[in-house]
Amino acid sequence: MSEPEILPWDRQHSEPERAYGYFVLYRDLGRTRTVAKVATEVNKSRDYLHKLATRWKWVQRAQSWDREEDRLYVEGLAEQRRDMARRHARIASALQGKIVTRLQNLDASKLSPGDIARWLEVATRVERLALGLPDSTTAHTGPDGGPIRAEVEQMTEQQRADFFRALMAEAANRAGQAAPNSDPDPAGDGDDEDDEEGAGEPAAEA
């Protein structure tokens, strides 16, 4: 069985235990480390410690230690970000299910242009959360570049109902027909604004 690899910051072959202890003190001082600081801490002469530092290559070994610490930090940060993205995706999926349930309880024929524009805004915000993107205000426009509300106002009542049903179907598709067991929140209870505000809360978690 082969011997484990000796890393630069480990005790080296034939390195005296006391010399290695001095190196560890030097290494753990961080990027502002100096031999003089070690000399002061252990009450040894600088010349003596400089000889040890040269003989056992403290500078190069400490630099290798710094690079390894940086690598571990970056890996840990990346894993935390992945965990956060997965957590936010689960939250956003649950929110999508709630919104789909709410949409299914609304009468599309009774929605105003402002209502449709608002639900489009909500659907887009939830999708951004699901993708791990920042929660931000998005300016929705029609094909001609004008506001979506202005475009909806020009629709007939049937066209508005069809438009909203298409929006509802798209939201349900994004949610993957999620949350079939979610408690329905009946429309018309006056809490629409609270529902919208709740949809944006998880972004604060980032």
Question: Could you report the per-residue pLDDT of 2-13, keeping only the tens digit for each?
Answer: 678 899 999 999
Q: Name the amino acid, one letter, at 138.
A: T
Tell me what the mean pLDDT of segment 36-55 comes to: 95
Mean pLDDT for 169-196 is 48
How high is the mean pLDDT of the chain?
73
Decide if 192 contacts 122 (C-beta within 8 A).
Answer: no
pTM: 0.45
Residues pairing with 141 in the sheet: 147
Dist. CA 186–CA 103, nearest whole Å: 9
pLDDT value of position 45:
95
Q: What percent of the chain has pLDDT over 90?
A: 33
**Higher-confidence residue: 182 or 133?**
133
Residue 175 has pLDDT above 80, yes or no: no
pLDDT at 187: 40
More confident residue, 180 or 37: 37
CA separation (Å) from 67 to 9, 73, 201?
11, 10, 38
pLDDT for 123? 67
Specify which residues 147 forms β-bridges with: 141
Pick the closest to residue 173 from 70, 93, 76 (CA basis).
Answer: 93
Residue type, 192: D
The answer on pLDDT for 179 being more than 70 is no
Which of 38, 31, 32 lies closest to 69 in space, CA to CA?
Answer: 31
Q: Which has more confidence, 194 or 84?
A: 84
What does residue 82 show for φ and ψ, rounded to 5 degrees?
-65, -40
| pLDDT exceeds cutoff 70 at 190 | no
Degrees, nearest 5: CA angle 81-180-87:
10
Q: Which two tokens stand for residue 83?
A: 């965990």
Q: Is the pLDDT of residue 24 over 60?
A: yes
Instruction: Judge whether 68 and 150 are in contact, CB under 8 Å.
Output: no
